[in-house]
Structure formats: structure tokens, C-alpha cells
Amino acid sequence: MDKKINVTIWNEFVHENTNEACKKMYPGGLHLAIAAGIACDDFDIKYATLNQDDEHGLSEDVLKNTDVLIWWGHCAHDKVKDEIVDRVMKHVWEGMGIICLHSAHMSKVFRRLNGTTGKLLWREANERERIWCSNPGHPIAKGLPESFSLPYEEMYGEPFQVAPDAQPIFISWFEGGNVFRSGLTLQRGNGRLFYFRPGHETFPTFYDANVRKVIQNAVYWCNPTYRAAYPKTHRPDADEPITKKEVDFGKAGIVQD
Amino acid sequence: MDKKINVTIWNEFVHENTNEACKKMYPGGLHLAIAAGIACDDFDIKYATLNQDDEHGLSEDVLKNTDVLIWWGHCAHDKVKDEIVDRVMKHVWEGMGIICLHSAHMSKVFRRLNGTTGKLLWREANERERIWCSNPGHPIAKGLPESFSLPYEEMYGEPFQVAPDAQPIFISWFEGGNVFRSGLTLQRGNGRLFYFRPGHETFPTFYDANVRKVIQNAVYWCNPTYRAAYPKTHRPDADEPITKKEVDFGKAGIVQD
Amino acid sequence: MDKKINVTIWNEFVHENTNEACKKMYPGGLHLAIAAGIACDDFDIKYATLNQDDEHGLSEDVLKNTDVLIWWGHCAHDKVKDEIVDRVMKHVWEGMGIICLHSAHMSKVFRRLNGTTGKLLWREANERERIWCSNPGHPIAKGLPESFSLPYEEMYGEPFQVAPDAQPIFISWFEGGNVFRSGLTLQRGNGRLFYFRPGHETFPTFYDANVRKVIQNAVYWCNPTYRAAYPKTHRPDADEPITKKEVDFGKAGIVQD
Amino acid sequence: MDKKINVTIWNEFVHENTNEACKKMYPGGLHLAIAAGIACDDFDIKYATLNQDDEHGLSEDVLKNTDVLIWWGHCAHDKVKDEIVDRVMKHVWEGMGIICLHSAHMSKVFRRLNGTTGKLLWREANERERIWCSNPGHPIAKGLPESFSLPYEEMYGEPFQVAPDAQPIFISWFEGGNVFRSGLTLQRGNGRLFYFRPGHETFPTFYDANVRKVIQNAVYWCNPTYRAAYPKTHRPDADEPITKKEVDFGKAGIVQD
């Protein structure tokens, strides 16, 4: 590649400090395991976490220099400041890619980009998940088998309240009898979003080779081919002649830009 | 019909009190003209306005009893409280229909349901608009001609930043050389949204027979066939047996419901 | 209802005459069981079969008077004449609803309306299917439980090659480890299509109360609110003045209408 | 680029031999002008025409070695053999890109991939067209201005009968008062389709710099990132145990693969 893809992995980084099972599974934090799983010459990976500073590590400067933002959050969605959510959305609209993992389905960012609740069914029962690819021609599925399984996972089940234009790439089967659209793509403004379900904080999911491959593929897919300020409301002059009307109803004045 | 459709017309109702041209065109408020245009035996129409009380006239009780909410706002979008926006969205997700008119493209509700900026180009130049139906089989287009024109309107132009699943029903031609997707449908959760472009506050648009017909049709289309609390996150028991695993990684505890 | 919905159930009606298991399960034909399952005061149900006449029972007159066509076919897709397929598509484009059941995923009509192959994985192993509703607010899901199971079914599995705008209403879980988008809606021209997976010819699926309810709901949903000849190519006069150009490049002549 | 993109420009090549105005505007054929407009180091361009051989120049070998097929046809759509249409569709489903230009909206290939009629309004009146970009972040719009105009074009007008998942990239304004979704993207199987409206056979459209840029961009966008045989129906063994049922209903036998 001509230029490396700048990846920022944002991790809530709370469970790793409060829950023994999580701390043991992901010493140093989930973000380190995610990074290890996708690392390659094409990526330049940085980290950001909820409590590292008062901008959750997501300053304007960080986001401006991020091509693809990876998001993992779970128990502190409501601790993410609205102004940072707005900033992330602005960058997505301008072209920044975003990958929401697992419990990020309830993050403010994911729900806002969908315009929905993001809600679903769930069960924490250490059960087997089998993930089927429903769109094998999609770049995110490149190199993946027809299906693959994870021996231990939390269950997420339908109905999953997402926007109707979310395109399924993966659909999961769970041992306990549930199904779920586990991989979904979405476009908002100039930016691409990929949601991927697996990744429970106490299970070894982020060490799985197929899970890592999916996330790596998604970084390539979400990397913007174009990035620009989303259209600022503006008032163009007319390109074609406007006839003088017989009446003038007046104007109501300038509105917000 | 077995039961009347309960329509609530929400009007910002600011221009009518501050701008002479608007006051003259719509004495008593835009909401009265909109109501007059769609009134029929099947509808029970009520009003709500920004400053009528500290809930903008949109109490839980009002929304619970509203089948279709019509929204007109322009210069005071930022005065609408976030908690009321959240309440409106909850009701849309549960099935309430919503019709966003004209400058409501920048309302918090419209932008949030799209997950986009809602931005566009615009020009206030008293120009002719011609509206083409791009989906004549849609119920909202019922009884409308192939195209119709409005002699005096504000221009809205592409690019219009909406969600990709917004389906165009009408597309406008403007005298000054612009085009715009003037009628768009969207689904979020159980609820239907229709956006309709015409309706500038100082022009006689809401007295136009075709405009009135479109809005009336849209009320029928947005009226929910089903309304229920959107799926509350819940934790179902397994329907199928889950094998006992050789390892137990522990749990991270309960998350928000 | 003001007027009954005219339903035509088209059944290939081959297995019932050639396969003992099918004949025993559905004496008289699958169409009779489907009809018995959806019958109600609002529907006027008729039948058509592949070999009843040289138009497969689908004359212009029959289709003109059909609001919703139900299609079951399996081993004789290639026996359906192209001219009849074209006729069915024309009526769908004009507004006729169509419900494709089970193995109709490989029918010419289904594949043509999708623009895809309709292919999938399958296994005939007498296994349990559990069907989850992924869009509980959709009219087709009305009155159905969160999920329901069928004790004996053929398996259909992802990837399912359908058009990307096919909206999932139901997603199936199979005992053998597969998943499938079992209920899908589609719009083509003025007409609505619903695909529903269950319905293997030797299993008692069409006697299941939930399956019957889904198909009955789908008839209501597919029933056209508007039906008209799809736009015939026409050459309108200009509504706005076209300036006389300095050059005339000539014309290439009339094309097909 | 590591490897050139193999582009095949298919031109009906009839008007150029029968119509004086067309012959004079595009000596040697429209395909030469299209090729001249998009030529660059990254592309290896070849031609194919309706009457060059009994496969319209589109043998299995040619299509297998084509990354992106450009299609221009007008007065001889019905002369294209169904078996060649089937072959083109198979390659699109496997990943080959396709760009349909202007009157290719009525080609068998375009209509089949949409599952619709492809019909529209039209007028041959030498009028000005202004093309607006409705999705400036899309790679096909890269380097293009907010809008551009063509002084002389045929008019195509809404309603345009395409599949609902066709995403508008460009929308046109016509001097005579019509509008049209002039640039649309679609996905079918593994392949991408782009439809672009301008390109009347007697007007100098294919010499316009912006039109050429759009088509060149579209070649890059349609170039497959993945190409593989679309899923062949197959019968996988069960990954999970299927319980022995108390009844055996029998099988109906093997269906088509």
C-alpha cells in the first residue's frame, strides 16, 4: 500500500480492572489482544481508552488522523460524553471507518448511526457459536471458510434492532437455539460501519484466528477511499434563470448553517 | 375505518409570531393550514407547539395517543429538549408514524432517525418547483398526477445527507437548475417516517391541493398496523440443550437492560 | 373488508402424483393444505397447477383477477414456460402480490424478481427447525410468538443468493448447525413479494398453525393497495421552455416503447 | 496497480452504420469514443460488438478475462441472445463488474439484474441537462464538481422502474422540466453494476470530460475485489448432531443442483 492505514482501537477498559475473569483472559486489556490479532505491515495501530484523559483519548487531532476506529465498550456506555460521540459521528460522516465489536451494539455511537435502539436478546451460558457467511463475495469474508465455530461464547439473539439497510455478512447459530445477524455493514455519510458480534470479555474469542481475520478484513474495507467535510449547508447562486414573479411573499430570514 | 387515526401536528410556531410575511400567510399558525388541508372523517387532529408547556406539548400521554405525528420546525431546532426528542424516538421505534415537513430535515428527530446530518443546499429565491413522482405505485402517491408544480417555493438541492435506505417517492425540479429527493420513506424499529420537502413558511404551499393530498396519503401510510414496546433486552432460557463445557471462564456480571 | 382478496394458489402438483410419501402427506395436493390453512372470510381462494392446461392455469384473465399469487414448485421449475413467467412478472410489476414458498426459491419467477441465482445449501435429514422473528413489528409477524419450532423439516442454509434489498422477517436455526433467512420481503415495481422457507413436500409443515398464520398474514400484506399498468415508456411534451440550440445533431429515430 | 483492469466495451454498433448523424458524431463506433475517454495505464481495453460473431463477441473466454464490462445498446436489445444474457449474468454473479450506459436501461441484462422493467419517460429535443451529485463521498464521484451540465442531450425522466436498492449517485435536471436518477449503483451476487444515463448516439456526450471521468471512476469501482463461482447448491453434512426422530416421512428425491 502507498500509505499505512491508521487504526485507533478504542477500549472502554473497565472490566479488565474490575473483573478477575476478564483480567486473566486479557491481561493489559482487550485492545492489546485485538491489536495483536490484526497487526500487519499495512496498519499503524494506536490505542485510546475511556479514562485516559477527559476526551476518552479521542481528541479532534486523534480522530483526524484515524482512518478506521475500532470500538469495544460494555458497562460504561453512558460514561461516554455526548460531545465525543458527536465528534466521532462527524468524522464518520466525513469518511472515517468504524468497526463496532460485540457489546458496542449498545454504544451511543452505534445506536446513533443506526437511528435505532440496538437492542437484542442475550444469554451468558458458555455456549458454542457457529458463524455462517451469508455473503461470501464480500471483501470482509475474504479467506474465511463457509462457516466457523467458537466453542465458548455469550449468546446474542434476534430480534436485533438495527437500521433496515444493515447488510448481513455473517449470521450466527447458537447451541441453545438462537440465531443472530453477527456481521453487518452500514454506510452513513461518507463513512462505512461494520458491526461484528463475537468478543465477550471473559472468553478467548479475540485469540481465534477466524475472528482476527474478519476484523483485519474489515479494517481494509472500512478504510475511506474518500474523506471530506460533509456538505456544509450552502446557498448556491442559480445556474438557470429564475423568472421574476408577480408576487413577493417576503423571506423569513437566515437559518442555521 | 374502524377507528380514527389520531394525528398530532407539532409546529414550532415561532415565525408566525416574529415574521410579518409568515404571519400574513399563515394567520394562527402553519399547523392550522396543515390541518385544514388533510382534515377528513378518518382523522382526529390535535396540535402541539414548542412553547405551549415545558414538554413542547408532547407529554408521554399525548404521544401514547398519537398514531401519526406531523413535524414542522425551522429556526428553533436547538430549543427542542433532548428528553423530548428521546421520547419521540421511543414512540417511533414502538410504531408511531412521523411525517417531517420541509425544514424539519434539520430537526433533531429527523437527523437522529437517519443517523446523518440531514444537510442540503438551499436558496430562498421565489422560484418554481416541479415535483415528479418516482414511485407511482406507492400509496403516498395515490391520486396524484405524474408531476405537479408549485409556482413559488424555496429551493432545496442535492446532495441531501440522508440514510441510504431512504426510498424516493418524489423528486423535485427547480427553476434555478437544482434537483432534490423531495419525498422519502424510512423505517426505524416498528415506525414509519415520511419526509416531504415543500412547505416554506412565507409561501402559500400548504394551500396547494396536491401538497395536501400527499400529506393526507402519508398519514394513512404512516399509521401503524402494529404498535408494541420495542424488544426489551431480555435473557431467554435456552430452547435447546447446552452441553456442559470442560472450562468455565467466569462471567463479567450484569449489563444494562 | 370492503372486498375479498382474490388468492390464487399455484402448485406444481407433481410430487403428489409421483412420490408416495408426498401423496400420503398431502392427499389431493399441497395446494389444498395451504388453502385450508389460510382460509377466512376475507379471502376468495382459487387453484392453478402446472399441467391443468397449456398456460399452467395462469391465463391473462386469471392473473388480472388475482390479488395475491401463492407459488409452490420444486422439481419442474424448468417446465414453466417463459411466456407465463413474463406474464406473472408483468402482473407483479403492476401490483399483484406474490408469495413464494419453500423450494420456489429456485423458480424462474423468484430468481427473475431478485436478479440473482436464488441458490443455497440444503440437507434432507428430518431435522428440527426453530424460526425466529427478526422484525416483530412487521405485519407479517402479527400474532406470532418470538420464535416457534417445526419438529421435522428439510434444511436450507446460508449463503442464500437473493437481492440485497430483501428484508429479513424470519431467520431459522437448524438442529444440524445451519442458519437461514427464512422470511424475506421484496418490492418490484408496484408489487410485493414474500418468500417463506418452510414447506417440504413430505413433512407436515403446512398443517402447522404458526406456518399457516404467517402465510395468512402475508396474503394481507401482499394485497396491493394500488394496481396499475407499470409506466409505459412515453414521450411527454416539455413543461418548461427549451431554448433553440445553435446546432442540430439530428435524431436516431424511434426506439421500442 | 499490481495488475491491469481488463475492460471490455460492448457496443451494439448498429446506429453508426445506419444513421448519418450517429456515423458523423462517432466515426468507427461509440466504443472507440468511450475507450478514448477512459484510457489510462491501469486499464487494458478490448471491444465486442453485436454482430462480430455468433456470440456477440462475448464468448466464455472473453467474459472470464473481463473485470469490467461496459454495455451500450439501443435499437437491437431483442437481438441479444438469451444464452449470452445468461452468460453475462453468471459472470456478474461471480464478481464481474458491469457498467450500463444510457439506453442500456432497456437491455435484457440491466432489466434482469434489476428484476424490473427498466422503463422511463423520454424526449429527444436537444435540451440542456444538469447533473448533480447526490453522494459526493462515493468513489464514482471522485474529482467531479458539485454539478456539471451537458448542453445537448436526450431527456430521460422519472419514474424510472429500477430495483429499490439502486443507490442514487447522480440526479439530473432537464431544461424541459424533468428529473432523473442518472447514476445508480447495484449489487447482484458478487458483482457490482453502475448505470449512467448520458450518452445519446447523436450528441457529443462521450467527448465530455466529466462524463468520461465518471465512467473511468466507475471502472475502478466495479472492478471485483473478489471473484468466485457463486455458491453451487450443495448438501453439507450436519455440523451438529441431529436426533433420530420417532417418525420417518420419507424423501421426495434429489432436486436440481
User: Tens digits of per-residue pLDDT, D176-194?
Assistant: 999 999 999 999 999 999 9
Touching chains, C (3+ CB pairs < 8 A): A, B, D
Q: Which residue of D has its CA nearest to C234?
A: D121
Q: Which residue of D has its CA nearest to A231?
A: D136
Largest CA-CA distance found in chain C, in angstroms, rounded: 78
pLDDT of D77 > 90? The answer is yes
Question: In angstroms, what CA-CA distances link A220 with A5, A73, C147, C214, D241?
Answer: 8, 22, 37, 41, 37
Cell of D66: 473481463
D5-17 residue pLDDT tens: 999 999 999 999 9
pLDDT at residue number C252: 67
**Interchain pair C161, D77: CB under 8 A:** no
pLDDT of B255 > 80? The answer is no
Touching chains, B (3+ CB pairs < 8 A): A, C, D
A123 closest CA partner among A177, A182, A194: A177
**Interchain pair C123, D250: CB under 8 A:** no
pLDDT at residue number A257: 43
Query: Do B198 and B128 contact (CB within 8 A), yes or no?
Result: no
Amino acid at C129: E
Q: How many CB pairs under 8 A join B and C?
A: 46
Nearest to B179 among D136, D159, D171 (CB): D171
pLDDT of B96 > 60? The answer is yes
Q: Among B39-48, B232-241, C187-196, where is mean pLDDT lowest?
A: B232-241
Task: Residue D167: list chain B partners with CB under 8 A.
Answer: 164
Strand C167-174 and strand C121-133: the pairing is: antiparallel
Task: Residue C175: list chain B partners with CB under 8 A.
Answer: 240
Task: Residue B132: list chain D partners with CB under 8 A.
Answer: 157-159, 178-179
Question: pLDDT tier at D257 (50, 70, 90 boundaries)?
Answer: very low
Question: pLDDT tier at A253 (50, 70, 90 boundaries)?
Answer: low
D48-64 residue pLDDT tens: 999 999 999 999 999 99
Nearest to A177 among C135, C136, C173 (CB): C173
Question: pLDDT tier at A235 (50, 70, 90 boundaries)?
Answer: confident
Cis peptide before C164 (omega within 30 of 0): no
pLDDT at residue number C257: 43
pLDDT of A239 > 90? The answer is no
**Interchain pair B225, C139: CB under 8 A:** yes
Tell me the backbone φ, ψ of residue B13, rounded to 5 degrees: 60, 50
pTM of the model: 0.95
**Interchain pair B228, C139: CB under 8 A:** no
C76-127 residue pLDDT tens: 999 999 999 999 999 999 999 999 999 999 999 999 999 999 999 999 989 9
* Residue recorded with cell 402424483: C17
Instruction: State the average pLDDT for chain B.
Output: 93
Q: Among A59-63, B122-126, B208-212, C49-53, where is mean pLDDT lowest?
A: B122-126
**Interchain pair A121, B242: CB under 8 A:** no
Give me the mean pLDDT over the A59-79 stretch.
Answer: 97
**Interchain pair B190, C137: CB under 8 A:** yes
Task: Residue A135: list chain C partners with CB under 8 A.
Answer: 159
Cα torsion at B134, B137, B140, B144 (round to 10°)? 80
Residue A103 to residue C114: CA distance in whole angstroms: 34
Task: Residue D159: list chain B partners with CB under 8 A.
Answer: 132-136
Strand D5-11 and strand C121-133: the pairing is: unpaired
Cell of C220: 394481507
Cα torsion at C156, B165, D185, D12 (round to 10°)? 80
pLDDT of A28 > 60? The answer is yes
Give me the mean pLDDT over the A86-100 stretch.
Answer: 97
Report ipTM for this prediction. 0.94
Amino acid at B191: G
Strand A5-11 and strand B147-157: the pairing is: unpaired
Question: pLDDT tier at A256 (50, 70, 90 boundaries)?
Answer: very low
pLDDT at residue number B257: 43
Residue A51 to residue D28: CA distance in whole angstroms: 68
Which domains are seen in chain B, by residue range?
A: 5-114+181-222 (3.40.50.880)
Interface test with B, best of A77, A82, A124, A160 (most B CBs within 10 A): A124
Q: What angle do CA B112, A115, A165 make, to 5 degrees?
A: 130
**Interchain pair A226, D142: CB under 8 A:** yes
**Interchain pair A173, C177: CB under 8 A:** yes
Nearest-CA distance B87 → chain A (Å): 12
Question: In angstroms, what CA-CA distances link D72 with A35, A256, D125, D196, D206?
Answer: 48, 45, 21, 10, 12
**Is the model more confident about D232 or about A213?**
A213
**Interchain pair C137, B240: CB under 8 A:** no
Residue A239 to residue D83: CA distance in whole angstroms: 47
Q: How many CB pairs under 8 A join A and D?
A: 46
C180-220 residue pLDDT tens: 999 999 999 999 999 999 999 999 999 999 999 999 999 99
Residue A141 to residue B6: CA distance in whole angstroms: 47
Quick one: C244 exposed, middle or buried, by C-beta within 10 A (0-12, 13-18, 19+)?
A: exposed
pLDDT at residue number B230: 65
**Interchain pair D179, B172: CB under 8 A:** yes
**Interchain pair D119, C231: CB under 8 A:** yes
Nearest-CA distance B178 → chain C (Å): 14
Nearest to D178 among B135, B173, B181 (CB): B173
pLDDT at residue number C188: 96
Amino acid at B7: V
Give me the mean pLDDT over the A152-169 stretch.
Answer: 96
pLDDT at residue number B252: 67
pLDDT of C15 > 60? The answer is yes
**Is the model more confident about B142 or about B229?**
B142
Residue D187 to residue C164: CA distance in whole angstroms: 7
Residue C123 to residue D68: CA distance in whole angstroms: 36
**Interchain pair D19, C256: CB under 8 A:** no
Interface test with B, best of A90, A98, A116, A195 (most B CBs within 10 A): A116
Task: Residue D145: list chain B partners with CB under 8 A.
Answer: none
pLDDT of A250 > 80? The answer is no
Task: Residue D231: list chain A partners with CB under 8 A.
Answer: 136
pLDDT at residue number B226: 85
Residue D53 to residue D58: CA distance in whole angstroms: 9
pLDDT at residue number A236: 82
Q: Where do the H-state alpha helices sit in chain B? A: 15-18, 20-25, 30-38, 60-64, 82-94, 108-114, 209-222
C39-85 residue pLDDT tens: 999 999 999 999 999 999 999 999 999 999 999 999 999 999 999 99
Largest CA-CA distance found in chain A, in angstroms, rounded: 78
Taking 3-state DSSP, the helix, strand and coil percentages for chain A, each rounded to the nearest 5, stand at 30, 30, 45
* Residue recorded with cell 458496542: A104
Nearest-CA distance D175 → chain B (Å): 8
Query: Kind and range of the H or E element at C46?
Result: strand C43-49
**Is the model more confident about A125 or about B10?**
B10
B150-200 residue pLDDT tens: 999 999 999 999 999 999 999 999 999 999 999 999 999 999 999 999 999
Interface test with D, best of C80, C119, C206, C248 (most D CBs within 10 A): C119
Nearest to D95 among A137, A189, A239 (CB): A137
Interface test with B, best of C240, C242, C243 (most B CBs within 10 A): C240
How many residues make up chain C in this entry?
A: 257
Question: In angstroms, what CA-CA distances link D66 with D13, D54, D102?
Answer: 20, 19, 21
**Interchain pair A171, C157: CB under 8 A:** no
Nearest-CA distance D11 → chain B (Å): 29
Share of chain C above pLDDT 90, in %: 84
Nearest to B226 among C137, C175, C236 (CB): C137
Query: Do A222 and A156 contact (CB within 8 A), yes or no?
Result: no
Query: Do D8 and D189 contact (CB within 8 A), yes or no?
Result: no
Nearest-CA distance B16 → chain A (Å): 10
Task: Residue D96: list chain A partners with CB under 8 A.
Answer: none
Nearest to D139 among A130, A226, A239 (CB): A226
Interface test with C, best of A179, A239, A240 (most C CBs within 10 A): A179
The neighbour count for residue C246, using CB atoms within 10 Å, is: 7
**Interchain pair A159, C136: CB under 8 A:** yes
pLDDT at residue number D256: 44
Question: pLDDT tier at C137 (50, 70, 90 boundaries)?
Answer: confident
Nearest-CA distance C128 → chain A (Å): 10
pLDDT at residue number C256: 44
Question: In angstroms, what CA-CA distances link D234 with A179, C9, C153?
Answer: 22, 29, 17
